[in-house]
Amino acid sequence: MKLLVKLGGTLLDNPDSRTSLSQQLAALYKTNPILTIVHGGGKQMTRFLEAQGVQSIFVEGLRVSSPEVMDAVLKVFAGSVNHGLVSTLVAQGLDAVGLTGIDCALTECEIVNPALGQVGKPVRANTRILDTLTGDRFLPVIACVGGDKQGGIYNVNADQMATSLAAAWKVDRLLFLTDVEGVRGADGQRIPVLHQNEANALIESGVATGGMLAKLRAAEFALQNGVGEVRIVDGATPNVLERVQGGEALGTAFLL
């Protein structure tokens, strides 16, 4: 199975959680080596910017990315968060390789809106490097930073980046490991299976907003572009990867 796992930054902020997930990924890798990881780090980014006296401004869930924010994007996403995860995976015996979307034009972007600064929308993905690395038993670990052919650098929503890569790489399963147990309906209850028309209704009614809205849109794009399955799961669930891969109906599964 070709698998892409997107790890939310909240899960990586705690050393114990990061170690637990790395142990699970090491166990998963033994039976499923065609695997790539994409990660965020928004919580870490906000904390870093606050320490620099920079206020984080969000528009429709996207962080306005001025030059000083972009400096932090490279230091935090591509630096401390990425290398912290890679080092933990290496400690579990994995040949993990830290990357960004800039490397080998892995994720090529264009400006979403000039008012947001250097916020990029993925428009093309060159996944040859993923084939090369996974084919030689390396584990790619990708930070949510993109580029363009003119040398631009972009802050990219991690869900959008994971979806773009999953679609281009034609994965069988895209797993969003996050800090919620799945998509909740208006009644606050988890929805085990969500069809696209139902997801649209959650968005239109205002039930799904912010980060969850972004995930719903990302899931729609993935399924429409050849990804076999998309699932949102609480990454703090014990043995979550083994249980999902074993067929347990955790989180929310998306269907067209």
Question: pLDDT (tens digit, 0 to 9) for every residue of the chain, 256 residues total?
Answer: 999 999 988 899 989 999 999 999 999 999 999 999 999 998 999 999 999 999 999 887 789 999 999 999 999 999 999 999 999 999 999 999 999 999 999 999 999 999 999 999 999 999 999 999 999 999 999 999 999 999 999 999 999 999 999 999 999 999 999 988 888 888 988 999 999 889 888 888 888 887 788 888 888 889 999 999 999 999 999 999 999 999 999 999 998 8
Phi-psi region of 233 (alpha: psi -120 to 50; beta: other; left: phi over 0): beta
pLDDT at 59: 85
Calpha distance 83→72 (Å, rounded) = 15
Domains of the chain: 3-255 (3.40.1160.10)
pLDDT at 60: 76
What global pTM score does this model have? 0.94
**Strands, DSSP E only, in 89-224?**
96-100, 107-111, 119-125, 139-143, 145-147, 153-156, 173-178, 193-195
Q: Residue for token digits 């729609």?
A: 220
- Token pair, residue 150, equals 């003119």
**Strands, DSSP E only, in the chain?**
3-7, 35-39, 58-59, 62-63, 96-100, 107-111, 119-125, 139-143, 145-147, 153-156, 173-178, 193-195, 230-234, 252-255
Calpha distance 192→181 (Å, rounded) = 10
pLDDT at 210: 74
